[in-house]
Every structure is written in C-alpha cells, then in structure tokens.
C-alpha cells in the first residue's frame, strides 16, 4: 500500500486480484496464436493496463488531504444576542448550532474552534469538547433563586431553616414557605436590589419524606414561581447518658435538664462526700452506679464528666472507662475547668496553647459566649467540632469511641439571656459528634446536586459487601464501578424516569434504601444555570474578545475520483475492440 493511500475495499484485495489475473490469463490464452507477431505484445500491455484500471476502481483508493477546520458557534441557554451579532459580523458564514443537553454535537465534525455563548454546556457533556479550542464568552447572569441552603435531612424536633440568595428581586413580590399540604408557614417580602438574602423557618412535626415548597407571588397575589424543597425528617433516637460530677454546678444542672426535656435517658451522679453520692434519674428506672466496670457502663452512648471526677478515677475505674470507649464506642466528654488546660500529656490526651481570648461570637454581635483563654494545639489525630465557622470543641478518636472536651465556659448563660435556640444548637452539634455511632453497613451519597428526569444522576455507595447489586423501585439493576484504590467504594449512574421522590436499594438488603428527589425542568432553574456557568468558567475560563479560538488543519482520507481509472479502462477496451478491424 502506498504511503498516505489506502483502499476502502482492501478486505477484497486478494479475491479481486485473483479474478483480475484470471481475466488477463484468459485474454493471453485467446491471443496466444499471435505470439510471434509484434501486435501480440502491444495488446498484452494494453489489456494489462485496462484490467489494472478495473482492479483499482473496484478497490476504491483514497489519498490523504489536508483540510482546514473552521470556527463554529455553540449557542447555549442564557446567550446574549449582541454577542452572536458581533461574531457573525466578524466571521462571515460561520457555522452555528443550538446546544441540547445529552445530544451529540454535529458542529464538531467540521470545526475545531468553538465560541460558546450563554451559560455553557452541562458538565456531563464536556467530554465532547475535549481537544477543541474553546472560547467561552459567558452569558446573562442568572436571576431568581440562585442559591438555596438548608438541611435536607434533619431530626424530628429540629428547626428547618431555608436560606436563600435571590438575584434581582422585584419590589412587591413575596416568598412564601408552604408545607406539603399547601399551608403557609412563613413569608418574607422582596426588595428592589441587585440581590437579597432571606431566611424562612419552620419546625416539622412528623418524621418521613416531605416536599415543602417555596412559592413566589407578586404584589397582586398572582403565582410567579415555585421551588420544591425535599426534606427527610428522621425519628429521633434517644440516647442513654451518664453524667458524673464531683460537686453540683449550674453548667451540669442546665445541661441535664436540656437532655431530659429532649427525651434522653439520663443518669446523673453527684458526689456529696467520700463514697456518698446523689443519683438523679430522668426517663429511666432506678439503677445506681457506684463503681465503673465494663458491665455497668455497657448501655451508655455518652458519658459526661467534670475534670475533678475524671482525675479522681481509680486505676480500675479508669481502665474500665477506657475499655468501654475503645471496644463499645461510647463517647466521653470532659467538662473543663481552669486547671484542666494545664494537665500533662500523661493525664490528658489534649494539649492547649494560650491565646488570650476570653469570648467568642457566633455570627451576630449579640451571640457571644465566654471561653477559657486557650486554644487546641493541632495534634494528630485531633478533630475539631465547628459551629457557624467557630471552633467550639475537639475530640480524639480512641478506636471505636471518642474523647472530647471544649474551651467554652458557662454555656448556661445563653439560657439566662433567653438564647435557648443557640444553646440547643450548640450542645446538639457538640454531642452529635461525640456520642456512640451506630455501625452502618451501607452509606449512600448523591454526587449530582440537582437530579433531573432523563439526565444522569451520579451516586456513591460505601459497603463491605462483596459485589453489591443496586436496583431501582422497578427492579431494574444499575451497574456499579468499583473504585481502584478503595475497594469498599462503588460509583453508579442512574437516569431517572420520573420526577419527585425516587429510590435505590441493595437487592440483598431492602432496609438499605436511599431516597433522592428528581426536580422538574422549571425547578431550581437559576441554581442550575449558576452551577453550569461556574463549571464552564472553571473548565474553559472566560474570554472577553473573539480572537482566542484558532483554526487548524487535519489530514483526512478522501476517495480518488474513479474517472481517473475509468478513462484509461475505456480507452484500452476501445483500442482492443478496434485493433482487429485495422489489421483485416
């Protein structure tokens, strides 16, 4: 085969060649009686040329040709018309194509340089633009509910707080938070400004899967838009808590009342004198604990002790406490005092440094709290506990359990100041990080922020099961891809067929159900536009001018015209037909 030339019918080369040789052999045999004449050799050469031309036509040869790939314009949602007009004025007869998510781009076959106008392509379609020169020119800034923040899964009794960033709100419009039955729960008016931050709140009264809604109405009460707010409310699991104090304190008094009022089972032991204790029981039966043994501590999810009680433990009691933490996963929280921060490393796993700060603030100026003038020293494997971007405590993992403490001082002052919500939020966040964790065999995580119908929904599954099989509500299996480095991590992709709540589960475990919400095309529109715009800027950058995209050449195999071989074939056949008549 000649360099740069290929035959489209190369797979038929040998049959065609054998047939051509047979045809030429028959011609030689027919003309063999004239072998002593000069005309025989002339006809032999002419016939060879004619049959060779026929063979080449049958094989369909091609040759390499450099073609200039041009520029093109990809039109996506949110494009500005003036940008398109300017491009068409500069580049005459430039090709354009409207982007449709999930559809293969035809424009890429004849172009290697693209101007992308608008918010850009979906992240799952970016693979199509690989190895192409892209000038991303951006589009109109998204308007409406461009950001929504709220906990999609919360415990029963916790407050559902929806924070919204609204771009270009209109005066007179209202945002109304409604429950699944359509009843109004909270509302707030919008103002005329470039953007507005609002917060709406409610407290769910039952557990389950619910779809709240955020409705926008104009000044006349007419419907403008609706955003679904899927929420999973989880039934609260009540904890078994042991509180041990060397002497009564207001901090312990308010904390045990808070825990008891929230339904937790609390056993409070306060030392009166040597070997004499006062026991209090909340939401549990009478069962005093005088000595710490693994059996006595077995049923507790959390142990709260003050510093003096912790330091006063005997060797056997301390060994039993550490064994409970290591093997049963029970959490231990040590209530600090001024001397706690000066303990040696042998007495406490925590190390501190003096920072001089005696108060911290949670967001607003009037939400402050006293603290000890110390900060945690970052020491592996120390883990910080954060509330509203403020470090409130830290814990040390000890095999299955955790040992924690805090730098906060007299948190009960929040209740005295009427800030019960902040007090509850603080201790809920702190204790949730420390209590004994239930061993979960399967963990799910959604990787797609806004799932939509007929678009890829990506998820992750963590499980110790060998070869897990995931299926949908309809029993359709979903193939999983195992992570190369983490054998317990699996990735999957699902194309939802319906909006609303959808579910996935392991075929061997119906209890490991994973729920996710699929939004309608008109929901979370501004959020999706903002996410797509940001993803395209990260991928391609954003260009102001039109000169970034450069055209290049590519080598393609183009079929050679059959006319170049048909003409010699006709001339050769014509001469062979005419030659006997000339010599008669």
Q: Per the structure block, which two tokens stand in for 18? A: 């054998």
List the chain pLDDT tens, one digit each, 584 residues.
Answer: 445 567 777 888 888 888 888 888 888 888 788 877 777 788 888 888 888 888 888 888 877 654 445 788 999 999 999 989 988 888 888 889 999 998 999 888 888 888 999 999 999 899 999 888 888 998 899 999 999 999 999 888 888 999 999 999 998 999 999 999 999 999 999 998 899 999 999 999 899 999 999 999 998 889 999 999 999 998 888 899 999 998 888 999 999 999 999 889 999 999 888 778 899 999 999 989 988 999 999 889 999 999 999 988 888 999 999 999 999 999 999 999 888 888 876 788 888 888 888 888 876 667 788 889 998 988 888 899 988 788 889 999 999 999 999 999 999 999 998 888 889 889 988 988 999 887 667 889 999 999 999 999 999 999 888 889 999 988 889 999 999 888 899 999 999 999 999 999 998 877 788 999 999 988 999 999 999 999 999 999 877 655 444 444 455 566 777 788 888 888 888 877 877 777 65
Question: Hey, is 325 helix, strand or coil?
Answer: helix
Cα separation, 301 vs 436, in Å, equals 5
Intrachain domains 144-235 and 240-434 with the same fold: no
Bridge partner list, 226: 215
DSSP code, position 485: S
Helices (H), 236-300: 250-261
Cα separation, 271 vs 274, in Å, equals 7
Instruction: Please check whether residue 138 is in contact with residue 542, taking contact to mean a CB–CB distance below 8 angstroms.
Output: yes
List Cα–Cα distances, 242 to 167, 303, 313, 334, 439, in angstroms. Answer: 50, 5, 15, 12, 21
Residue 136's closest CA among 582, 535, 570? 535
Per-residue pLDDT, 54: 84
Per-residue pLDDT, 12: 81
Per-residue pLDDT, 549: 43
Question: Hey, is 88 helix, strand or coil?
Answer: helix
Bridge partner list, 202: 160
Sheet with 5-7: strands ordered across? 5-7, 61-68, 553-559
| Helix or strand holding residue 428 (H, E) | helix 420-434
Q: What is the CATH number of domain 451-518?
A: 2.60.40.10
* Half-sphere exposure in the Cβ direction for 313 (13 Å, CA): 21
Instruction: Estimate the share of the chain in helix, then strand, then coil, as percent rounded to the nearest 5.
Output: 25, 35, 35
Has domain 240-434 been given CATH number 3.40.50? Answer: yes
Cα separation, 516 vs 301, in Å, equals 30
Sign of CA dihedral 28, 34, 36, 42: negative
Chain-centre distance of CA 171, in angstroms?
35
Cα separation, 580 vs 144, in Å, equals 90
Domains in the chain: boundaries? 5-66+558-582, 144-235, 240-434, 451-518
DSSP code, position 519: B
Sign of CA dihedral 524, 526, 529, 534: negative
What is 520-582 written as a DSSP string? Answer: PTTSSHHHHHHHHHHHHHHHH---SSS------EEEEEEEPPTHHHHHHHHHHHHHHHHHHHH
Q: Per the structure block, which two tokens stand in for 22? A: 């047979």
Chain-centre distance of CA 213, in angstroms?
23
Per-residue pLDDT, 390: 85
Cα separation, 432 vs 449, in Å, equals 25
DSSP code, position 51: H
CB neighbour class for 91 (10 Å; exposed up to 12, middle 13-18, buried from 19): middle
Cα separation, 332 vs 435, in Å, equals 8
Instruction: Please check whether residue 354 is in contact with residue 376, taking contact to mean a CB–CB distance below 8 angstroms.
Output: no
Question: Hey, is 511 helix, strand or coil?
Answer: strand
Per-residue pLDDT, 76: 94
Q: How many CB atoms lie within 10 A of CB 504?
A: 21
Question: If you search the block for the tokens 């038929």, which residue do you land on?
Answer: 12
Instruction: Please check whether residue 404 is in contact with residue 433, taking contact to mean a CB–CB distance below 8 angstroms.
Output: yes
Cα separation, 152 vs 507, in Å, equals 25
Domain 144-235, what fold? Immunoglobulin-like (2.60.40)
DSSP code, position 310: H
Per-residue pLDDT, 556: 56
Backbone angles phi, psi at 139, to 5 degrees: -155, -160
Question: If you search the block for the tokens 């319906």, which residue do you land on?
Answer: 498
């Amino acid at each position: 085969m000649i360099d740069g030339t290929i035959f489209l019918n190369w797979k038929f080369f040998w049959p065609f060649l054998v047939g051509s040789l047979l045809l030429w052999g028959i011609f030689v045999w027919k003309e063999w009686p004239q072998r002593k004449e000069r005309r025989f050799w002339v006809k032999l050469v002419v016939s060879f040329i004619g049959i060779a031309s026929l063979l080449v036509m049958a094989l369909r040869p091609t040759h390499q040709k450099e073609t200039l790939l041009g520029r093109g314009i990809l039109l996506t949602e949110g494009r500005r018309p003036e940008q398109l007009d300017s491009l068409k004025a500069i580049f005459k007869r430039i090709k354009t194509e409207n982007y449709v998510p999930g559809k293969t781009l035809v424009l890429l076959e004849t172009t290697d340089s693209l101007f992308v106008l608008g918010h850009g392509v979906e992240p799952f379609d970016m693979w199509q633009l690989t190895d192409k020169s892209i000038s991303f020119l951006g589009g109109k800034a998204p308007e409406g509910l461009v950001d929504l923040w709220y906990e999609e899964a919360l415990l029963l009794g916790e407050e559902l707080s929806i924070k919204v960033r609204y771009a270009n709100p209109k005066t007179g419009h209202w945002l109304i938070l409604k429950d699944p039955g359509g009843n109004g729960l909270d509302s707030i008016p919008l103002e005329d400004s470039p953007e507005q931050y609002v917060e709406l709140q409610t407290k769910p009264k039952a557990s389950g899967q619910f779809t709240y809604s955020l409705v926008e109405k104009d000044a006349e009460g007419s419907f403008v838009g609706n955003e679904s707010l899927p929420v999973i409310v989880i039934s609260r699991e009540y904890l078994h808590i042991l509180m041990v104090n060397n002497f009564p304190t207001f901090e312990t008094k308010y904390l045990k009342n808070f825990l008891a009022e929230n339904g937790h089972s609390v056993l409070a032991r306060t030392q009166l004198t040597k070997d004499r204790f006062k026991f209090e029981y909340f939401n549990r039966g009478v069962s005093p604990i005088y000595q710490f043994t693994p059996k006595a501590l077995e049923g507790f999810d959390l142990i709260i002790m003050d510093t003096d009680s912790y330091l006063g433990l005997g060797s056997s009691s301390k060994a039993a406490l550490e064994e409970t933490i290591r093997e049963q996963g029970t959490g231990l929280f040590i209530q600090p005092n001024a001397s706690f921060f000066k303990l040696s490393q042998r007495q406490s796993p925590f190390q501190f440094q003096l920072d001089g700060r005696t108060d911290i603030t949670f967001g607003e100026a009037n939400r402050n709290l006293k603290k000890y003038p110390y900060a945690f020293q970052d020491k592996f494997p120390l883990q910080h506990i954060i509330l509203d971007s403020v470090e409130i405590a830290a814990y040390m993992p000890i095999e299955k359990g955790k040992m924690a403490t805090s730098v906060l001082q007299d948190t009960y002052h929040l209740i005295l100041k009427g800030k019960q919500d902040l007090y509850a939020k603080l201790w809920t966040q702190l204790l949730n990080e420390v209590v004994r964790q239930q061993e979960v065999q399967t963990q799910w995580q959604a990787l797609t922020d806004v799932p939509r119908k007929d678009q890829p929904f990506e998820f992750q599954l963590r499980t110790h099961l060998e070869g897990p099989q995931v299926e949908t509500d309809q029993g359709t299996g979903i193939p999983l891809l195992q992570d190369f480095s983490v054998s317990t991590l699996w990735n999957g992709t699902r194309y939802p067929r319906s909006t609303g709540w959808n579910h996935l589960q392991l075929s061997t475990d119906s209890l490991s159900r994973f729920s996710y919400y699929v939004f309608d095309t008109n929901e979370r529109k501004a959020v999706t536009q903002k996410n797509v715009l940001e993803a395209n800027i990260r991928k391609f950058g954003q260009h102001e001018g039109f000169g970034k995209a450069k055209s290049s050449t590519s080598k393609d195999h183009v079929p050679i015209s059959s006319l170049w071989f048909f003409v010699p074939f006709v001339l050769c056949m014509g001469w062979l037909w005419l030659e006997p008549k000339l010599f008669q």
